[in-house]
């Protein structure tokens, strides 16, 4: 249970207990905080927890790291404001955008990819408005666990080819990086084990640098302080079929995040903020698309930090968002991120993309999806093969990729077979 005292001040947070300790069985609620020095330390922890995944997205897609980090920080602060400081969350770069961004930039420009990000954000914001009015019941009906799990899994496994392509550039560096990720995950305890991706990248990077694989010239030439590399979207309707299915994943991630926080804090009022959370993430993604950043989502990595520390204070996330903004104002930092070699990226994404697939399967397991039922069997089977095989249809102006077709297939197969099943009686 939570308990607090003291004046709220900025943000309306009350001080939990003496501001220094947390009693056994208690948690620091979203509307509470510890002393500011401890809160700042927790905020930095959240930055470290999100960083491993957030910086990989721009590196893998070619987007500017500084702009992505800037809009990640802005999005987090916007999310906290819109949810009334009741839903602790960091908005980091969503891996669901990697495939559509890569496809859009391969046939067009970064501007067309940004248009796809922007349009996805607008649609997600509209979903948030609908949820504010109607609740989440229709989402559960549209996307039961077998559909949600299939879509999440196919997004991760669709990217497998990109991971192995990077491994082939420098197999030994990739092997060292992957080994480091695995050893940290099982060899360390607590928060350190949750930073396996970040620490694995650091190990691989150091090894690659010692071997002379890393070119530091761009880092030396970059300024210490400067504005992020902002971009401008270019209207390109043909990219939308690849981007819009991402909304389904973002909805599932946001709803799942809110429900998890409500469960861990024992505060059912958090669930009442689901519509606001979707609206906020939609607006954050829209801003990112309008200015050169990648789309955002609520980060599960930070839930791990909260569970380990028992501190769910949104004050720590304000600190995290501000730290991200400060880091985004250093071109030298962005140049350093861009020097990560392909081998390191390959090693870490072999694990990461596979884990996304496993998360989809975990959704089936956690919700006890009956895979003996033909409706569920074929929903998963058809969607996964289309997504993993990256079935691509279309012409010169409109191309529909495997993720989009696989997501659509999951919905059509499930609801179509369910309708037939009901008619059969």
DSSP class of residue 8 equals -
Helix, strand, or coil (residue 23):
coil
**What pLDDT is recorded for position 190?**
67
Residue 399, H or E segment:
strand 399-400
Beta bridge partners of 33: 15
> How far is it, in rounded angstroms, from Cα 287 to Cα 148?
26
Q: Which pLDDT value is given to residue 328?
A: 93
H or E segment to which residue 92 belongs:
strand 91-93
Q: What is the pLDDT of residue 5?
A: 46
Chain centroid offset of residue 46 CA = 14
Query: How many C-beta neighbours within 10 Å does residue 281 have?
Result: 32
Q: Name the burial class of residue 377, with classes exposed (0-12), middle (13-18) and buried (19+) by CB atoms within 10 angstroms of its CB.
A: middle
Query: What is residue 16's DSSP assignment?
Result: P
Give the CA radius of gyration of the chain: 21
Geometric angle at alpha carbon 70, from 84 and 296, rounded to 5°: 60
Predicted local distance difference test score (pLDDT) of residue 6: 46
Tens-digit pLDDT profile for residues 162-171: 889 989 999 9
The pTM for the full model equals 0.83
With contact defined as beta carbons under 8 Å apart, do 351 and 181 qualify?
Answer: yes
Residue 98 and residue 92 in contact, taking contact as beta carbons nearer than 8 Å: no
The helix/strand/coil state of 30 is: coil
Residues of the chain with pLDDT under 70: 1-11, 52, 190-191, 301, 395-398
Per-residue pLDDT at 293? 93
List, for residues 324-355, the tens digit of each pLDDT value.
999 999 999 888 888 888 899 899 889 888 88
Are 117 and 97 a contacting pair, CB within 8 Å? yes
CA 372 to chain centre: 31
Please give the pLDDT value at position 8: 47
Q: Where on the phi/psi map is residue 385: left (φ > 0), alpha (ψ -120 to 50), or beta?
A: alpha
- Domain residue ranges of the chain, discontinuous segments joined by +: 10-424
């Amino acid at each position: 249970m939570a308990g607090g005292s003291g004046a709220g001040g900025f943000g309306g947070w009350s001080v939990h207990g003496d501001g220094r300790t947390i009693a056994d069985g208690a948690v620091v609620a979203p509307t509470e905080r510890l002393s500011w020095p401890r809160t700042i330390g927790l905020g930095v922890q959240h930055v470290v927890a999100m960083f491993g995944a957030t910086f990989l997205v721009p590196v893998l897609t070619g987007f500017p790291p500084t702009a992505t980090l800037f809009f990640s920080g802005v999005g987090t602060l916007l999310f906290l404001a819109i949810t009334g400081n009741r839903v602790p969350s960091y908005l980091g770069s969503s891996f669901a955008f990697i495939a559509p961004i890569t496809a859009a930039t391969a046939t067009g420009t970064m501007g067309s990819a940004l248009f796809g990000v922007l349009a996805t954000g607008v649609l997600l914001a509209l979903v948030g408005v609908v949820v504010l009015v109607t609740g989440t019941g229709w989402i559960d009906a549209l996307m039961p666990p077998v559909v949600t799990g299939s879509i999440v899994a196919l997004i991760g496994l669709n990217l497998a080819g990109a991971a192995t392509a990077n491994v082939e550039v420098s197999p030994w560096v990739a092997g060292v990086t992957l080994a480091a990720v695995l050893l940290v995950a099982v060899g360390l305890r607590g928060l350190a084990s949750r930073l396996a991706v970040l620490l694995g990248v650091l190990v691989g990077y150091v090894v690659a640098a010692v071997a002379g694989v890393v070119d530091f010239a761009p880092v030396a030439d970059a300024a210490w302080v400067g504005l992020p590399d902002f971009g401008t979207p270019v209207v390109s309707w043909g990219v939308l079929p690849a981007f819009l299915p991402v909304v389904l994943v973002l909805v599932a991630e946001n709803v799942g995040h809110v429900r998890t926080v409500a469960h861990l804090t024992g505060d059912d009022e958090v669930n009442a903020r689901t519509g606001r959370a979707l609206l906020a993430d939609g607006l954050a993604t829209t801003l990112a698309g309008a200015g050169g950043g990648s789309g955002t989502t609520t980060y599960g990595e930070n839930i791990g930090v909260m569970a380990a520390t028992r501190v769910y204070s949104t004050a720590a996330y304000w600190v995290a968002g501000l730290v991200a903004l400060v880091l985004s104002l250093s071109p030298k930092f962005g140049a350093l991120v861009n020097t990560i070699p392909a081998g390191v990226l390959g090693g870490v994404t072999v694990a990461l993309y596979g884990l996304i697939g496993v998360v989809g399967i975990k959704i089936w397991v956690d919700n006890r999806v009956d895979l003996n039922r033909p409706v569920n069997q074929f929903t998963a089977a058809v969607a996964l093969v289309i997504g993993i095989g990256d079935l691509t249809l279309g012409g010169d102006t409109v191309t529909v990729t495997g993720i989009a077709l696989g997501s659509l297939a999951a919905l059509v197969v499930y609801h179509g077979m369910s309708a037939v099943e009901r008619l059969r009686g």
